[in-house]
């Protein structure tokens, strides 16, 4: 039985023992039957019947014994979990997990922990690896005598990550303990972004509301009988309410985009038709600012997968910004041509103005919500600070990118890169 497992060896021995006992029991029973029939002088023809009965009883006894053995085997199957190693259990966990002993020395770290924290060799002291005070206190509390505890831990290198770390013992009376790290970075980032958005939106709404409230108070007081002042104040109030309406529309657009994280598959959009429609709709705005819109479209079809309304909104925002902020350049150029970024075929749409341009330090932040290079200029030109944020969000849904090139005094070029498949 050298090739059998311990459980199999035990089962074989137990079965052989039961079989040996059953044989001796059957022999004793047959001897007893012969004795009874011989002493009682009963007919010998009854003996075969008695033997059959004894065999049936022995069979039932063996069946019951087999059932007890099967029940015992099944009751022992959960014990197979004890044969699983710490490495097997840790590998099944997708979050970083570290197994350590009573001396706070690492026994095993799973692949997620190695990816998050680098080399974690067996025998390394946890207290030397994690020097943050909250981690030191957590490790001490998880050693013998302590229960399950949790803390928030911020790992700043190589990039800042926020973890919810839980330390607990592996079973009652075990000398093994685990640290489980749940990454909270994305949730924290979203919470911070939501808080910043609410604060910025509140500020943007408060300014026109305060202006309107002040003019109403003036009209009901000193300017009650002044027609010229009343007309001027009413015009300003109308402009402020229009600004709030645009701000609300942009916030609703962002909200709708965030509620649709996945792009509907299968639709193809002709970018030439979209750009023609956008240029025609914004021609009056360009004329008011003394600008001419030039088309530079490459030959051939220019189709990409996507949502037509959303792509229309992208190019409308970009062209409207070019007309508002590039009015010193006399013209805006809209070009479309095949592109190849990173070996992926696509289409590039560039909207270039020849206005004052954007300083280099502002370029990385112009797509942030409510970020303005010049707040006074943006407000006077009816900007909400959300247009480029909407553009970036839509392009992310379309697996596209936005690149910006600008030089002070020479205008700015906003290029949209969209994949063709």
| Placement of tokens 């099967």 in the chain | 70
Are the CB atoms for 353 and 329 separated by under 8 Å?
Answer: yes
The whole-number pLDDT of residue 273 equals 93
> What is the distance between the alpha carbons of residues 227 and 225, in angstroms, rounded to a whole number?
6
Tokens in use for 372? Answer: 């303005």
Query: What single-letter DSSP state applies at residue 94?
Result: S
| Placement of tokens 């479209």 in the chain | 297
The whole-number pLDDT of residue 288 equals 86
- Which letter, b or e, does each residue of 378-389 get, where b requires 16 or more Cβ atoms within 10 Å of its Cβ? bbeeebbbbbbb
The whole-number pLDDT of residue 7 equals 46
| Phi and psi torsions of 353, nearest 5° | -115, 170
Say which residues have a Cβ less than 8 Å from residue 8's Cβ, sequence separation at least 6: 1
**Peptide bond connecting 158 to the previous residue in cis, omega within 30 degrees of 0:** yes
- Which letter, b or e, does each residue of 311-323 get, where b requires 16 or more Cβ atoms within 10 Å of its Cβ? bbbbbbbbbbbbb
Rg (CA), the chain: 40
Say which residues have a Cβ less than 8 Å from residue 363's Cβ, sequence separation at least 6: 404, 406
Cα within 13 Å of Cα(291), Cβ side:
29
> What is the distance between the alpha carbons of residues 381 and 300, in angstroms, rounded to a whole number?
37
Are the CB atoms for 372 and 382 separated by under 8 Å?
Answer: no
**Which is nearest to 294 in space by CA: 281, 279, 314?**
279
**Which is nearest to 361 in space by CA: 408, 321, 325, 396?**
408
The whole-number pLDDT of residue 319 equals 92
| Phi and psi torsions of 82, nearest 5° | -70, -20
Per-residue pLDDT of the chain (421 residues; tens, 9 = 90+): 444 445 444 444 554 455 455 555 555 655 565 555 555 555 544 555 555 455 545 554 554 455 555 555 444 444 444 445 667 777 778 889 998 888 888 888 898 888 888 888 888 988 888 888 899 888 888 776 656 788 999 887 777 789 999 988 876 556 788 889 999 888 887 787 777 777 777 777 787 888 888 888 888 888 888 888 888 888 888 888 888 888 888 788 877 777 776 666 568 899 999 999 999 999 888 888 888 999 999 888 889 998 888 899 999 999 998 988 877 768 899 999 998 776 778 999 999 998 888 888 888 888 887 777 765 555 555 667 788 888 888 888 888 899 999 888 888 999 999 998 7
> What is the distance between the alpha carbons of residues 405 and 357, in angstroms, rounded to a whole number?
9
124, 209, 212, 216, 231 from 219: Cα distances, Å: 76, 15, 11, 5, 10
Global pTM value: 0.53
The whole-number pLDDT of residue 314 equals 92
> What is the distance between the alpha carbons of residues 248 and 390, in angstroms, rounded to a whole number?
13
The whole-number pLDDT of residue 83 equals 47
Are the CB atoms for 396 and 416 separated by under 8 Å?
Answer: no
């Amino acid at each position: 039985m050298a090739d059998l497992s311990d459980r199999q060896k035990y089962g074989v021995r137990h079965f052989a023992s039961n079989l040996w006992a059953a044989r001796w029991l059957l022999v004793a029973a047959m001897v007893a039957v012969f004795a009874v029939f011989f002493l009682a002088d009963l007919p010998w023809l009854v003996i075969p019947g008695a033997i059959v009965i004894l065999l049936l009883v022995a069979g039932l006894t063996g069946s019951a014994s087999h059932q007890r053995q099967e029940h015992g085997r099944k009751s022992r199957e959960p014990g197979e979990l004890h044969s699983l190693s710490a490495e097997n259990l840790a590998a099944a966990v997708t979050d970083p997990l570290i197994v350590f002993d009573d001396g706070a020395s690492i026994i095993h770290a799973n692949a997620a922990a190695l990816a998050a924290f680098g080399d974690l060799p067996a025998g390394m002291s946890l207290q030397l690896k994690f020097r943050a005070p909250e981690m030191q206190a957590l490790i001490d509390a998880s050693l013998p005598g302590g229960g399950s505890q949790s803390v928030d831990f911020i790992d700043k290198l190589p990039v800042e990550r926020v973890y919810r770390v839980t330390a607990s013992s592996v079973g009652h009376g075990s000398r093994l303990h685990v640290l489980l790290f749940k990454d909270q970075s994305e949730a924290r980032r979203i919470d911070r972004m939501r808080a910043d958005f609410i604060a910025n939106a509140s500020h943007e709404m408060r300014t026109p509301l305060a202006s309107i409230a002040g003019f109403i108070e003036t009209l009901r007081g000193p300017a009650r009988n002044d027609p010229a002042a009343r007309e001027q104040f009413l015009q300003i109030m109308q402009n402020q309410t229009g600004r709030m309406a645009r701000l609300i529309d942009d916030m609703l657009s962002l909200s709708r985009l965030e509620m649709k994280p996945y792009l509907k598959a299968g639709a193809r959009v002709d970018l030439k038709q979209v750009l023609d429609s956008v240029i025609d709709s914004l021609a009056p705005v360009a004329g008011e600012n003394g600008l001419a819109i030039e088309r530079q479209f490459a030959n051939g079809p220019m189709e990409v997968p996507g949502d037509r309304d959303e792509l229309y909104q992208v190019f409308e925002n970009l062209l409207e910004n070019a007309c508002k902020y590039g009015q010193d350049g006399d013209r805006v150029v809209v070009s479309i041509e095949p592109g190849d970024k990173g070996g992926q075929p696509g289409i590039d749409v560039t909207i270039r103005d020849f206005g004052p341009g954007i300083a280099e330090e502002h370029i990385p932040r112009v797509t942030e919500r409510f970020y303005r290079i010049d707040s006074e200029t943006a407000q006077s030109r009816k900007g909400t600070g959300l247009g480029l944020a909407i553009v970036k969000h839509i392009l992310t849904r379309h697996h596209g990118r936005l690149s910006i090139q600008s030089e002070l005094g020479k205008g700015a070029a906003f290029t949209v890169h969209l994949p063709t498949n």
